[in-house]
Amino acid sequence: MSDVQKLQELLDKIPYAVLIEVQDCMWYRDGSDIHWNGEFNSEDLYNGVGDTYSGWMREGSKEWEGYLVTNLDMSIGTMVTYLFPLDKEVKLEDLEEMYNE
């Protein structure tokens, strides 16, 4: 079991909200912003609708054990730590090519 899987197992046991999330989603970087869609819908991801979210990587990011780890400013007065799977990252240029006519 990887460290990330162990972390997720621990997070699942905590009976209250914590400020860390392990995501299983499609996502892309746009400068210092990150955008993700939990339904793996690339068109919604590109258009910023549906199950699509975004946050500002104010402190940068680090790759660790196959994940991008970053603290996101969610514009709610607090930072949340997110782990995004590197193998599910899509390139903004590819989305633009698919959905710009």
- The CA distance from 66 to 80, in Å, is 19
Indicate yes or no: pTM above 0.85: yes
Q: Please provide the DSSP assignment of the chain as one string.
A: --HHHHHHHHHHH-SS--SEEE--SEEEEETTEEEEETT--HHHHHHT-SSEEEEE-TT-EEEETTEEEEEEE-SSSSEEEEEEEGGGB--HHHHHHHH--
pLDDT, one tens digit for every residue, the chain (101 residues): 788 889 889 889 998 888 999 999 999 999 999 999 999 999 999 999 999 999 999 899 999 999 999 999 877 788 999 999 999 999 999 999 999 86
Residue 17's pLDDT is 82
